[in-house]
Amino acid sequence: MAHLCINPEGIDAPNNYTHVIIARGSRMVFIAGQYPEDVNGNLVGRGDMRAQAAQAFANLSLALKAAGARPEDVTRLGIYVANYKREFLPMIDPGRRAVFGDHYPTDVLIGVETLAFPDYLIEVEATAVIPDERQT
């Protein structure tokens, strides 16, 4: 693996993210917040956190690919959730796992009052570091 993932002793080991990632590479990729929009800019899944999370993560995957990055190159995720409730977590996880599988980037989940559009429930951003051996 190009990056070293660490869950330090003395800190509870999380199920779906890593506490520390040491990135190995010199090409950084910053992905803007991805909304739950289809290719035409239409909201997917009005009022449905599971559908919106799946679309936002799918868009993130497309953005990574366009930059020449892979999901395993992601070192940090920012997940913004409108009107956050703890019961949203199991609705968000399937979209995340569809992209990242068993790779657990560091992350932060931030509950916000609203996003740029009132019907949008989630926005996901990422930072990736492409390993030197894959750079062109």
Strand positions, DSSP E, the chain: 4-6, 20-22, 27-34, 74-82, 106-112, 122-130
Beta strands at 106-112 and 74-82: parallel, antiparallel or unpaired:
parallel
| Residue 125 token pair | 């951003």
pLDDT for 14 equals: 78
pTM greater than 0.85? yes
Q: How many domains does the chain have?
A: 1
Residues 6+ apart with CB under 8 A from 90: none
Q: Is the dihedral of CA 98, 104, 107, 111 positive or negative?
A: positive
pLDDT for 13 equals: 81
pLDDT for 136 equals: 53
| Residue 77 token pair | 């995720």
Q: What is the pLDDT along the chain (136 residues), one digit of tens a residue?
A: 577 777 888 888 877 787 887 877 788 999 999 999 999 999 999 999 999 999 999 999 999 999 999 999 999 999 999 999 999 999 999 999 999 999 999 999 999 999 999 999 999 999 999 988 776 5
Domain region containing 82? 4-134
We report the CATH number of the domain holding residue 129 as: 3.30.1330.40
Answer yes or no: are the C-beta atoms of 125 and 34 closer than 8 Å.
yes
